Structure 1
Amino acid sequence: MSEYDNDSTPGLTTFSFDAFVTGAAVSKSSPMAGFGLGDGRVALVDPRTPETPNIVSLGEDCGILSFAAAPKSGFIAGTDDGRFLKITDSGEVLELLSIPGKWIEPIAVATRGPLMAAGAGNDVYLFADDADEAPEKLGPHPGTVTGLAVAPGGTIVACAHHGGMSLWKLEDGFSDPKTLEWPGSNQFTAFSPGGRYLVCATQDKTLYGLDFETSKQFGLTGYPNKVTSLGFTADESLLLTDAEQAFVAWVLPRGQSDDAVVFSPIEEALMTAIAPHPKFPLAVGGFTGGVVMLADMNKQTATPMTILDGDKISCLNWSHDGLFLVGGSEDGDGFLLNMMQFLGMA
């Protein structure tokens, strides 16, 4: 069971789950927070009664590899025993896909619309949230799909693999994808909020991107570590990443400024998670040592929000309306922050 722990920070509730926090998210139909854990459990936390999480097991000898909010309600998870699952706000577990012997690791959803995607080996499977229909299959791809993103409106599915990116335009009726030849092992992938940009991080500390408006591709280099988390500000003017000792922001579109904006460094720490606010020019960054910082992107300054007892932050995520922030660490700590209370507005 998780242990409820109070903190002096207004609006903050922290937990100890005793398992790696793979992902954290907030349901789109309610303020229910979900934490996907490496030991196969999901912790569901109602902000009104955070001291009593609902602990749901996804099965024995099962590990959660990926976790996110579903497009309409509840949550989705990919597991190391080949299952793609939906977890409702009340804790009901629905099996959407089972492929024994495969890992379901990359998953993605449309921010506008019901589309969900899950990668298994060289293939990607598409689902509509709350629809009782067999999934569509995309693939096989040239290699294992290691990164996955869905355009905000659900019109394009981007599948990262070794040597490039396959772009499936669903309005073309699942015809052959467009291939972007990006060298190396392409992994963490994201669309910008309006769908103008697609960016992918690679194993060799490089980012590749595509500007759909101009059809120009670009590369971003200079990182001392591999990027494992990235996101965009709400107005699509900045791309934010981890992998540095500070906040890193690239100005978009490329060409306006060649260098990254770097600010608010923390000595002897490395940023391991980044989450831009969905509405305002704010972002939170999580570091080794358990520090979570809140950044004002206009002022290029950041202040501490909380510290998770020296743990490395493994995930950060905002609710779709930006009113709640959730996160977790590799050592099993998690937190839920009510931003209205944190800012003294409730």
Structure 2
Amino acid sequence: MRALTQDWRLGAPGTGLAWLGETLVAAAGDGRLHFAEAGAQALNALDLHRGTIFAIAADPARQRVVTGGDDGRVCAATPDGSEEMLTRPGRWIEAVTVSRKGVVAVGIGKEVLVWREGTPSTFEVPTTAAALTFDQKGASLAVAHYGGVSLFDPAHPKRAPQRLVWKGSHIRVTFSPNGKFVVSVMSENALHGWRVKDAANMAMSGYPAKPRSLSWSADGRLLASSGADGAIIWSFAGRDGPMGTSAITLGKRGVQVTALTWHPGAPMLALGYRDGAVRLCRAEDGAMLPLLEPNGEPISHLSFSPAGASLAALSEQGRLARFALSAGGES
């Protein structure tokens, strides 16, 4: 479980990870996508964008990834090639997401374009759409922007959105797996949450650094976040979410956690640190297993394959590592 299966260099800064089954896809700052099929020793590089790839999202329904770049293009790509979905010259495409059923949403300024079938529908937000995500059913689309988060029904473009309001800049957003809560990352060192049914606010502050990375546990009861020298864990087990409770910390090493992700089927958390280390942390007792030793390159992205059989780690400088894990994530 601890063996490093592959270790590659992208030749440019790493900007994102996605999985198509057990095929790993990594995005880079030079506009290239890198595909690695299960067991492959070499990367298959695809020249895609003219500049940095800012966003990448898996579209498992079509076995492709959808990307956005600083060349104003939205592309759909497979190991065999790509097609351009949209071009907006002079714009940066930094917000892309895909639902489980293959509905694509892209943020461009104050517009959000949603592809359900054929021509995309347009939704508008008060300020620039900084981030977006679908709930697990694909029935609601959350868009983070200055002043809060807007929840849209992607099937009804003319229907007014539900506004979740909180002063400040919201730069990332996630739904709880049951769809009852929405949590955003603030530009300050804080998270903010809402209970969807009544828009009740939940302040989640006290971070020494910006909590850029978020991940939900397999059972949907715990939200892990970066931004400290360990993973900050909030409980959403009750009807009120983290209100009235205190967060706990896992994986403390005296070094800031910069990326994290829960295993999709086991109570195990993968942690990436500012010094380049990667650890697996068992939730029940906090025990840690070393996967990658420090090399000075901050880990920017971590991602388990959908079945949890593999873990990928990507550094800011473009080191890409893949680990083969035993079933269920146990050693």
Query: What TM-score bracket applies, with the shorter chain setting the length?
Result: over 0.9
Within the candidate set 77, 83, 94, 2:73 is matched to: 83
Provide the C-alpha distance between the structure 1 equivalents of 2:265 and 2:217, rounded to a whole number of angstroms. 8
Query: Normalized against structure 2, the TM-score is what?
Result: 0.92
Within the candidate set 18, 29, 36, 1:45 is matched to: 36
1:70 aligns with 2:54: no
Question: For structure 1, which segment, 169-178 or 274-283, has the greater mean C-alpha deviation from structure 2 after superposition?
Answer: 169-178
Q: Deviations over 1:186-231 (max 9, x none)?
A: 0111112232321101001121112336653311010111111111
> AA paired with 2:248?
V
Q: Deviations over 1:94-113 (max 9, x none)?
A: 11111111111011122x32
Within the candidate set 295, 302, 305, 2:288 is matched to: 302
Alignment of 1:262-301 (within 5 A): 262-267=249-254, 269-301=255-287
Provide the C-alpha distance between the structure 2 equivalents of 1:289 and 1:329, rounded to a whole number of angstroms. 10
1:134 aligns with 2:134: no
Offset at residue 14 of structure 1 (A): 1.0
Question: For structure 1, which segment, 143-152 or 167-176, has the greater mean C-alpha deviation from structure 2 after superposition?
Answer: 167-176
1:314 aligns with 2:300: yes
Alignment of 1:216-231 (within 5 A): 216-231=200-215
Contact 1:164–1:182 (8 Å) recurs in 2: yes
Within the candidate set 51, 72, 91, 1:102 is matched to: 91
* Identity between Structure 1 and Structure 2 (%): 27
Q: Which runs of 5+ in 1 are unaligned?
A: 1-7
Q: Deviations over 1:128-184 (max 9, x none)?
A: 4xx5x1111111x11111111111111111111111111102355541211111111
SS of corresponding position for 1:163:
strand
Alignment of 1:59-208 (within 5 A): 59=49, 61-72=50-61, 73-88=63-78, 90-110=79-99, 112-128=100-116, 133-139=118-124, 141-208=125-192
1:26 aligns with 2:19: yes
SS of corresponding position for 2:149:
strand
Provide the C-alpha distance between the structure 2 equivalents of 1:105 and 1:342, rounded to a whole number of angstroms. 33
Provide the C-alpha distance between the structure 1 equivalents of 2:281 and 2:195, rounded to a whole number of angstroms. 26
> AA paired with 1:79?
G
Residue correspondences, number: 327
Provide the C-alpha distance between the structure 1 equivalents of 2:168 and 2:330, rounded to a whole number of angstroms. 47
Q: Deviations over 1:59-80 (max 9, x none)?
A: 4x42100112114212111100
Provide the C-alpha distance between the structure 1 equivalents of 2:264 and 2:209, rounded to a whole number of angstroms. 26
Provide the C-alpha distance between the structure 1 equivalents of 2:281 and 2:192, rounded to a whole number of angstroms. 25
Q: In angstroms, what is the RMSD of aligned CA positions?
A: 2.1
Contact 2:71–2:89 (8 Å) recurs in 1: yes
The alpha-carbon distance between structure 1 residues 171 and 127, as it changes in their structure 2 partners (threshold 3 A), is closer
The alpha-carbon distance between structure 1 residues 172 and 273, as it changes in their structure 2 partners (threshold 3 A), is same
Offset at residue 285 of structure 1 (A): 1.2
Contact 2:2–2:323 (8 Å) recurs in 1: no
Contact 1:164–1:180 (8 Å) recurs in 2: yes
Q: Deviations over 1:298-338 (max 9, x none)?
A: 22332321136321001111122212211201111011122
Provide the C-alpha distance between the structure 2 equivalents of 1:231 and 1:344, rounded to a whole number of angstroms. 19
1:245 aligns with 2:232: no
Aligned residue number for residue 16 of structure 1: 9
SS of corresponding position for 2:326:
helix
Within the candidate set 314, 317, 325, 1:331 is matched to: 317
1:259 aligns with 2:252: no
Offset at residue 11 of structure 1 (A): 5.2
Query: Normalized against structure 1, the TM-score is what?
Result: 0.88
